[in-house]
C-alpha cells in the first residue's frame, strides 16, 4: 500500500491557519459538566498502585456546551463517532469554524459530549491495571481501536485505498494530519452493555427539556437508543453518515420512532472500497429502509443523500468538509420544518 | 477508613445547578487545535485488530481556546494536573464559572490543553493491544493512575483522611462527586522521556508570540521545562499548587528562569496528612527555596501563600473553591505588575 502523504509534516498546526470570523460570538453561557457515572470500588492495584484503594467514578459522560445570547431553536446535541471525541464538531482540521460554533451562531444551544469511555469522559482502567498486576489474563483485555491513515482515508471516503485524494473531494486533504491527531483509543468493547452513553444522552435531553440528537458514524443509532429510554425528551433525530440503521423494527419500537422526525445525511463515494470490514453502500441501504419503515408507521423520516441534491464530493467527515456550512444550512432548514 | 459521602448520588449533576452570568460572554474567537504529535507506524494488532496496519498520530496535545472581543493582556495557558484534564479550568463541580471563562472575561485570551496522554489528546495504545495479543508481557504495561475519593479528599486537602470536610474548607464538598467524574486514567508513565507536553507548551507559546504559562499540581514545573526549550516565548509563569519546585538550579538554568517573572500560589492545610506518598508542606518548602534561588540570581519570583494574605480554607483545587474568583483577582493583579 502506497501513501502519498508520507512527506507531510506532523510538526503541529500553525495557529495562523485558524480562521477567525469577522463577527464576534456572543454567548449567554458556556461551560461543561458531566452526566451519569456510577461509583466503583477498586483495589490499590486497579487504581495503578499510587494511592489507597477506594471509590472512583466510571461511565460518566463529559459535555461541553455553548448557548447563544439569542436562542432561536431547541438545543442540539452533537455526538461523535468511532475513535474520535467531541473535537469532531469543533474547529475543522484546516482551521475553519466547526458545526458546534456554526449552529450556535445560527441560534441553537449546542451540547457536545465525549462518548463514555473516551476523551474527557475517561474510561474504567481497572482491567488494564489488573492485567499488569497479573490479576487477570492479558488476552481478556478489551481492544483499544485506532484507525491508521491507511484505514481512514478510504473508510472516511477522503480518498482511495491507495491513499490518494478523491478527485473533487471536499475533505481538506492537506490537513489530513490534523484529522489523524483527533483520534484517541476507543475502548467501546470494554464498556458495560448497554453502552452507558445511551442513558446519558437520554438524561441530558430530559434535563434540557427536549433536544435534537445529532449522531455521526458509530453513534448513528445512539439517538434511537436514547429515545427508547426517554421518548418524550427527543424532539428530532439527525443521523450524519450513520454506520448502520436498524431494520425490522418491532411495533413497540415504531410507536416511539414514528413520533420523532428524523433526518439522515449521506455524502458521496458510497460504493468506493473502504479497506475495512464495512460498506457505506450497505449502511445507506439500511437507512433508506429505516426511513421506509418509519414512514409506513406514520412517521416522518427523510433521507438527504447529498449527490441527489447536486452536492458532490463529500466525505464521511462532512462536518469538516470545505462545504460544511452549506450542509449545516440544509440541516437547519430541515430543523425549521419539524 | 470511613467515608461520610457514600450516600451521595452519582446520578448526574442537575443542569439546573449551572449558574449563568447576567452578562453575555463576547468572544472574538473560540475553538480548538492540536500542537505537536509524531507519526507512528503500527501493526494490525497494535491498532486493536480492526483496520489495516499503518500510520497514526501519537503524542499530540489538544488545546481549547477562547479569545475575548477586547484583549487586555497576554494569552494565558492553563495546564491541569495528575489524572485530570483541561476540564479543571472549566465550570466548577458545583456549576460556577471556572478560571478559563473568568480570565477571558477579564480580557485575557485563554488556551487550555489536555496533557499529552490524556483526554482529547489521546495516548499511544500500542503496548496495551500488544499485551492483549501476547506480543509483550502484561507486567511491562505502564500503570494507569487514578485517585480514589479516599485519596483525593485528603491529598487535595478537601478534607481529612477520614473523608470528612475540613472545617471552613472552601472546596464545595457537596459537589465532590462532580470532581470525581473529572478524573481519567493517567498514563504518564507510558510517555516518552522527556514528556512531549513540555515541547508542545513551548511550541504553543512561540506560535502565540509570548504567553503566561499557568500550571497546577503535577504540571507544576512544566512551564520551567517549556522555558528551557523556548525561553523567549514565556512571558511569565504561575505555578498553582505545584507538586514540587526544582532546587539546586544550575547557572545556565538560572539564566533562563531569572528572566521570567514567576508567581507561586498555595492554599491552606499544607501540613495535613495526605494519605498518599506526598507532602504539600515539602512541596511548599521546595517552592519557597525556588523563589530564593531565582531572586538571588536577580530574578523576580513571588510566593503567594494565601493564609498569609488572610485567605484561609483553600484546598489544592483552588480554581474550583468557592472563592476562586478572589484568588483569580490576586493572580491578575500580579500579572498586571510584570
State how beta strands B262-266 and A262-266 pair.
unpaired
| Burial class for A6, CB neighbours closer than 10 Å (0-12, 13-18, 19+) | exposed
Cell numbers at B178, concatenated: 462532580
Q: Is the pLDDT of residue B13 over 70?
A: no
Structural domains in chain B plus CATH codes? 24-36+67-120+140-335 (3.40.50.1820)
What is the percent of chain A where pLDDT is above 70?
A: 96
pLDDT at residue number A11: 44
pLDDT at residue number A222: 98
Say if B97 is an interface residue toward chain A (CB within 8 Å): yes
HEC readout, chain A: CCCCCCCCCCCECCHHHCCCCCCCEEEEEEEEEEEEEEEEEECCCCCCCCCCCEEEEEEEEEEEEEEECCCCCCCEEECCCCCCCHHHHCCCCCCCCCHHHHHHHCCCCEEEEECCCCHHHCCCCHHHHHHHCCCCCHHHCCCCECCCHHHHHHHCCCECCCCCECCCCCCCHHHHHHHHHCCCCECHHHCCCCCHHHHHHHHHHHHCCCEEEEEEECCCCHHHHHHHHCHHHEEEEEEEEECCCCCCCCHHHHHHHCCCCEEEEECCCCCCCCCCCCCHHHHHHHHHHHHHHHHHCCCCEEEEEHHHHCCCCCCCCCCCCCCHHHHHHHHHHHHCCC
pLDDT at residue number A14: 66
User: Which of B320, B302, B27, B62 lies closest to B182 in space, CA to CA?
Assistant: B320
pLDDT at residue number B199: 98
Whether B51 sits inside 8 A of A200 (CB atoms) is no
pLDDT at residue number A15: 75
Whether A141 sits inside 8 A of B132 (CB atoms) is yes
Contacts of B37 in chain A (CB under 8 A): 10, 12, 177, 180-181
Q: Is the pLDDT of residue A2 over 50?
A: no
Instruction: Choose from B20, B24, B217 for mutation: most chain A CBs within 10 A.
Output: B24
Please name every residue paired with A237 in a beta bridge, in sequence order, or none if there are none.
A213, A262
What gap in Å lies between CA B283 and CA A73, rounded to an integer?
Answer: 51
Please name every residue paired with A12 in a beta bridge, in sequence order, or none if there are none.
B35
Say if B220 is an interface residue toward chain A (CB within 8 Å): no
Contacts of B36 in chain A (CB under 8 A): 11-12
Say if A141 is an interface residue toward chain B (CB within 8 Å): yes
Report the b/e string of B195-234 with b at 16+ CB within 10 A: bbbbbbbbbbbbbbeebbbbbbbbbbbbbbbbbbbbeebb
Interval B271-286: pLDDT, tens: 999 988 899 999 999 9
**Rg (Cα) of chain A, in Å, rounded?**
20
Whether B11 sits inside 8 A of A36 (CB atoms) is yes
pLDDT at residue number A7: 32
Average pLDDT, chain B: 95
Interval A258-305: pLDDT, tens: 999 999 999 999 999 998 889 999 999 999 999 999 999 999 999 999
Q: Write the residue in B91, B134, B183 that is nearest to A56 by C-beta.
A: B183
In Å, how far from its chain's centre is CA B59?
A: 17
pLDDT at residue number B250: 98
> Residue A238's pLDDT band (boundaries 50, 70, 90)?
very high
| Burial class for B177, CB neighbours closer than 10 Å (0-12, 13-18, 19+) | buried
The tally of CA atoms less than 13 A away on the side-chain side of residue A120 is 28
pTM tops 0.90 = yes
> Residue A102's pLDDT band (boundaries 50, 70, 90)?
very high
Contacts of B133 in chain A (CB under 8 A): 139
In eight-state DSSP terms, residue B277 is: S
Contacts of A116 in chain B (CB under 8 A): none
Task: Give the CA angle between residues A252, A255, A261 to the nearest 5°.
Answer: 140
Instruction: Give B295 to chain A, closest Cα distance, Å.
Output: 35
The tally of CA atoms less than 13 A away on the side-chain side of residue B66 is 25
Q: Write the residue in A37, A54, A95 that is nearest to B181 by C-beta.
A: A37
Interval A191-217: pLDDT, tens: 999 999 999 999 999 999 999 999 999
What gap in Å lies between CA B209 and CA B232, rounded to an integer?
Answer: 9
Whether B26 sits inside 8 A of A25 (CB atoms) is yes
In eight-state DSSP terms, residue B12 is: B
Interval B131-160: pLDDT, tens: 999 999 999 999 999 999 999 999 999 999
User: For residue B128, what is the enclosing H or E element?
Assistant: helix B126-132
What gap in Å lies between CA B331 and CA B336, rounded to an integer?
Answer: 9
Average pLDDT over residues B17-41: 95
What gap in Å lies between CA A200 and CA A225, rounded to an integer?
Answer: 11
User: Which of A136, A184, A195 lies closest to B184 in space, CA to CA?
Assistant: A184
Amino acid at each position: 500500500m502506497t501513501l502519498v502523504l508520507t512527506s507531510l509534516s506532523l510538526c503541529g498546526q500553525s495557529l495562523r491557519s485558524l480562521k477567525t470570523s469577522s463577527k464576534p460570538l456572543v454567548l449567554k453561557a458556556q461551560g461543561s459538566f458531566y452526566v451519569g457515572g456510577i461509583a466503583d470500588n477498586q483495589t490499590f492495584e486497579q487504581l495503578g498502585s499510587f494511592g489507597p484503594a477506594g471509590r472512583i467514578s466510571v461511565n460518566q459522560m463529559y459535555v461541553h456546551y455553548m448557548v447563544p445570547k439569542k436562542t432561536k431553536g431547541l438545543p442540539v446535541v452533537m455526538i461523535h463517532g468511532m475513535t474520535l471525541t467531541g473535537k469532531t464538531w469543533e474547529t475543522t482540521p484546516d482551521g475553519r469554524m466547526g458545526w458546534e460554533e456554526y449552529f450556535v451562531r445560527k441560534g441553537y444551544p449546542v451540547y457536545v459530549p465525549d462518548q463514555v469511555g473516551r476523551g474527557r469522559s475517561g474510561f474504567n482502567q481497572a482491567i488494564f491495571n489488573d492485567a499488569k498486576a497479573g490479576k487477570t489474563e492479558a488476552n481478556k483485555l478489551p481492544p483499544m481501536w485506532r484507525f491508521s491513515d491507511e484505514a481512514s482515508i478510504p473508510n472516511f471516503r477522503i480518498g482511495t485505498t491507495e491513499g490518494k485524494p478523491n478527485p473533487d473531494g471536499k475533505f481538506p486533504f492537506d490537513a489530513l494530519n490534523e484529522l489523524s491527531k483527533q483520534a484517541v483509543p476507543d475502548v467501546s468493547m470494554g464498556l458495560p452493555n448497554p453502552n452507558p452513553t445511551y442513558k446519558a444522552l437520554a438524561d441530558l435531553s430530559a434535563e434540557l427539556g427536549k433536544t435534537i440528537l445529532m449522531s455521526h458514524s458509530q453513534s448513528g443509532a445512539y439517538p434511537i437508543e436514547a429515545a427508547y429510554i426517554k421518548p418524550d425528551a427527543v424532539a428530532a433525530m439527525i443521523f450524519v453518515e450513520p454506520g448502520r440503521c436498524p431494520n425490522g423494527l418491532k411495533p413497540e419500537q415504531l410507536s416511539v420512532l414514528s413520533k420523532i422526525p428524523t433526518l439522515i445525511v449521506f455524502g458521496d463515494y458510497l460504493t468506493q472500497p473502504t479497506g475495512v470490514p464495512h460498506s457505506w453502500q450497505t449502511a445507506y441501504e439500511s437507512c433508506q429502509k429505516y426511513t421506509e419503515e418509519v414512514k409506513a408507521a406514520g412517521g416522518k423520516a427523510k433521507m438527504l443523500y447529498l449527490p441527489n441534491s447536486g452536492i458532490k464530493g463529500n466525505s464521511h467527515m462532512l462536518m469538516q468538509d470545505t462545504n460544511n456550512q452549506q450542509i449545516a444550512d440544509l440541516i437547519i432548514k430541515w430543523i425549521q420544518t419539524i
